[in-house]
A and B are shown apart, each in its own frame.
Chain A
Amino acid sequence: MSRLTIQIPGLDLKNPIMPASGCFGFGREYAQLYDLSKLGAIMIKATTVETRAGNPTPRVAETAAGMLNAIGLQNPGIEKVMNEELKFLEDYDVPIIANVAGTETADYVEVARRISAAPNVKALELNISCPNVKCGGIQFGTDPATARELVKAVKAVSEVPVYVKLSPNVTNIVDIALAVEAGGADGITMINTLVGMRLDERTGKPVIANGTGGLSGPAVKPVAIRMVYEVYKAVNIPIIGMGGVTEAQDVIDFMSAGASAVAVGTANFVDHFVCPNIIEELPAKLDALGVEHITEIIGRSHR
């Protein structure tokens, strides 16, 4: 397994594969299916200061090779996440990346300060890109100056490295990437979902109760790859890439574009064992490429 190790700020990864935030809850359900210690890391569900009830149902809708979701950051709040969910995950030998969300800067700072002190939280993922809540993300993720200031404020209190999750719903994602790097971000995770809509065939009205939802799944992969490619050229901090990963080849593609690690989202719903399966398939992929260690392929599309 030593061929798959990755070191990026705060994270000493056994392998570059991790479930993406929002697609894996807090790990409990998947822990019934396989040993979570197999994973490179776990990006846990977005956590806010207060308990959030989320959006009305229906919250998901299938689309061509993808799905829309508008869960609305439902979570039990920082107190319970710290005392129950992170405690539960301490039984596993896997670093946790805590996804931090909020309505205003003070919320992000509060969650970041507290959650970064948990013993198994090795990095934060700032959620400035959730498209499904009125307040709580996207307004921070679409304006470079606002994004930079938020990262600065969180960096000032966090005990662990801070990664920032970028939204693809912007005119120029490189501008935002440069802004968060200037704000002191230790890394970038990308991409969050693309805002989309599906209409009901009979009524002509949106299927998702929220109207719009975030598009994910294989359909978004080309967009995500393009954006990782562009951001890799522009910044000097590592990228964790995601968007439509369903098999080992997708991981190779994201790393070739410049990602140092790769998160798997929607595919966890389709094949609940997809993460351990990909980890198992990767060495054969490296053999086929004539590569000894997986780090050798990072950014190879640029060489």
Chain B
Amino acid sequence: MIRQEKMTVVSQKQIATNIFELTLHGELVQEMTPGQFVHVKVSDSLEPLLRRPISIANIDKDNNEFTMIYRAEGRGTKVLATNREGQQVNVLGPIGNGFPVDAVQEGGTALLVGGGIGVPPLHELAKQLNARGVKTIHVLGFQTEDVCFYEDEFSALGETHYVTVDGSKGTKGFVTTVLESHAPAFDVFYSCGPLPMLRALEGFYPEKEGYLSFEERMGCGIGACFACVCKTTDQVEKDYVKVCSDGPVFPKGTVAL
């Protein structure tokens, strides 16, 4: 159930260049699952006007806390980055359908592939998969070393490969470069990141079960405005899906890439 809540800032930390980790406290944490997102009003003023959809990186139901990791790049996220401990943030959520954690059997292996600011939701997913007895392999792509984050956190959960476009950290190239050279054995893949990455991954594993998380410019965030629709493939009965309310996670082969 989607709710609106003034959540309290527990901490705000810069964890890489322009990358912030914001922890919030509030009741709606109880409803969250990995891969869902929240719709955040970054200021009480009319500027910036619209909410910002931000993914959920950590869920701590025992303490009613969750973490989001975002890049402070545009007007809204720069305002969000100014929040300090004790301040309140207007959050609508949790929104959308997240990653199906039970798609992998206990004892199985999941491949998690993330790109840039698509990496954060994979962290909570990896935690929950590990808790179910699923082995996780992480392949995480970034532009450069200075925007990489959560290396220790992912490494603690399983085999982790970093890849950067300029080669400043890990393998030089794209996530597919790593997948080609390492060829990991796995049962199901999960991915979140830029469209070319999702497209490449879908083409890479045509025979595997997989789940992709999409990003699109949103208006309302709840499915009413039809701003974030995507065309579907011939395999799907519907003509279109809405990223906010039908997604952001879709089974591989749903969205026309």
Where the two chains meet, the residues of A that have a C-beta atom closer than 8 Å to any C-beta of B are 22-25, 28-30, 32-33, 45, 51, 53-54, 57-62, 64-67, 69, 71, 74, 217-218, 246, 266, 268-273
Please, which residues of chain A bring their CB within 8 A of the CB of B223? 25, 28-29
The 9 closest A-B pairs by CB, nearest first: A25-B224, A29-B224, A269-B220, A60-B227, A29-B222, A58-B217, A65-B46, A59-B227, A29-B223
Chain B min CB distance to A9 (Å): 27
B240 at the interface (CB under 8 A from A): yes
Please, which residues of chain B bring their CB within 8 A of the CB of A60? 50, 217-219, 225, 227
- Judge whether B48 and A62 touch: CB under 8 Å: yes
Chain B min CB distance to A268 (Å): 7
Given contacts A71-B227, A268-B220, contact A53 B46 (CB under 8 A): no
- Judge whether A57 and B229 touch: CB under 8 Å: yes
Chain A min CB distance to B249 (Å): 18
Please, which residues of chain B bring their CB within 8 A of the CB of A71? 225-227
Please, which residues of chain A bring their CB within 8 A of the CB of B239? 51, 53
Please, which residues of chain A bring their CB within 8 A of the CB of B47? 64-65
- Chain B interface mostly: loop
Tally of A-B residue pairs with Cβ under 8 A?
Answer: 98
B4 at the interface (CB under 8 A from A): yes
Interface residues of B in 45-95 (CB under 8 A from A): 46-51, 75, 92
Please, which residues of chain A bring their CB within 8 A of the CB of B240? 53, 74
Please, which residues of chain B bring their CB within 8 A of the CB of A51? 239
Given contacts A54-B229, A271-B41, A272-B92, contact A62 B222 (CB under 8 A): no
- Judge whether A272 and B219 touch: CB under 8 Å: no
Given contacts A67-B50, A270-B49, A272-B92, contact A25 B226 (CB under 8 A): yes
Chain B min CB distance to A207 (Å): 9
With beta carbons under 8 angstroms apart, the residue of B41, B75, B219, B222 that contacts A69 is: B219
Given contacts A29-B245, A57-B230, A60-B217, contact A65 B222 (CB under 8 A): no
> Can you list 19 contacts pairing A with B, beta carbon distance less than 8 Å?
A25-B223, A25-B224, A25-B225, A29-B222, A32-B2, A54-B226, A54-B229, A57-B230, A60-B50, A60-B227, A65-B46, A69-B219, A69-B227, A71-B226, A71-B227, A269-B220, A269-B225, A272-B4, A272-B220
The contact string, 1 if C-beta is below 8 Å from chain A, for chain B 214-257, is 00111111111111111000000001100001000000000000
With beta carbons under 8 angstroms apart, the residue of A29, A61, A218, A273 that contacts B217 is: A61
Q: Which chain A residue has the least Cβ–Cβ distance from B228? A: A57
Please, which residues of chain B bring their CB within 8 A of the CB of A64? 47
- Judge whether A270 and B2 touch: CB under 8 Å: no
Interface residues of B in 206-220 (CB under 8 A from A): 216-220
Please, which residues of chain A bring their CB within 8 A of the CB of B48? 62
- Give the distance in Å from the alpha carbon of A59 to the alpha carbon of B220 in the complex: 12
Most B CB atoms within 10 A — which of A54, A59, A69?
A59
Please, which residues of chain B bring their CB within 8 A of the CB of A66? 49
- Give the distance in Å from the alpha carbon of A66 to the alpha carbon of B219 in the complex: 11
- Judge whether B229 and A74 touch: CB under 8 Å: yes
B1 at the interface (CB under 8 A from A): yes
Q: Which chain B residue has the least Cβ–Cβ distance from A73? A: B226
Please, which residues of chain B bring their CB within 8 A of the CB of A270? 41, 49-51
Q: Which chain A residue has the least Cβ–Cβ distance from B220? A: A269
- Give the distance in Å from the alpha carbon of A24 to the alpha carbon of B222 in the complex: 10
- Give the distance in Å from the alpha carbon of A55 to the alpha carbon of B4 in the complex: 30
